[in-house]
Amino acid sequence: MKIKYLLLLMFALAIVACNDSKKVKLNTSETKEISLLDTLQLKLNQGNKWLVNPETQGGVEKMNTIIKAFKAGNNKDYNALGKKLAKQTSYIIKNCNMVGEPHDQLHVVLVPMLDEISTLKEAENNTEAEAVLTRLEDLIKDYFVHFKL
């Protein structure tokens, strides 16, 4: 339950921080979970990658570097890894100035990344954490397939 509220808060902050002019109204009496993935599908921009701002690209590249260094080392502190990755997503959100369809497409991949990072920080064992890390790596790969500087 705590994770759901945290994700909802992070998503709301992402929308506000990204200077998106769209209004989002949440009905808190509803108990149905709604995912961006239910309404938006990650796609290319007419066969081309979407353009992102330098901070977004740099943040995702740094996340990728952090994960590679973690996997190359002997440290298995997945909580600490999650905290480092969360710092990068916070940086991306804070510095986002994207608008329109590129911004919407970024959220299709960024919101699940936030979810996986939250899960990684709270993983109860290494087996669970490794599975989460694999999903996160797949999302980062998807990012690089669909976005560029």
pLDDT digits (tens, 9 = 90+) for 67-114: 999 999 988 999 999 999 999 999 999 999 999 999 999 999 999 999
Instruction: Kindly report the backbone phi and psi dihedral angles of residue 64, in degrees, each rounded to the nearest multiple of 5, phi listed first.
Output: -60, -40
Radius of gyration of the chain (CA): 15
Q: Is 39 helix (H, G, I), strand (E, B) or coil?
A: helix
* Higher per-residue confidence, 53 vs 36: 53
pLDDT of 103: 95
Looking at domain 2-17+47-148, its CATH architecture is Up-down Bundle (1.20)
pLDDT digits over 5-48, tens only? 444 444 444 544 554 433 333 344 444 444 444 567 899 999 99
Name, in order, each residue with C-beta under 8 angstroms of 117's C-beta and a sequence gap of 6 or more.
Answer: 82, 85, 86, 89, 136
H/E stretch holding 128: helix 126-146
Report d(CA 126, CA 3) in Å as an integer.
19
pLDDT of 18: 56
Helices (H), 49-99: 54-72, 78-94
Domain ranges of the chain: 2-17+47-148
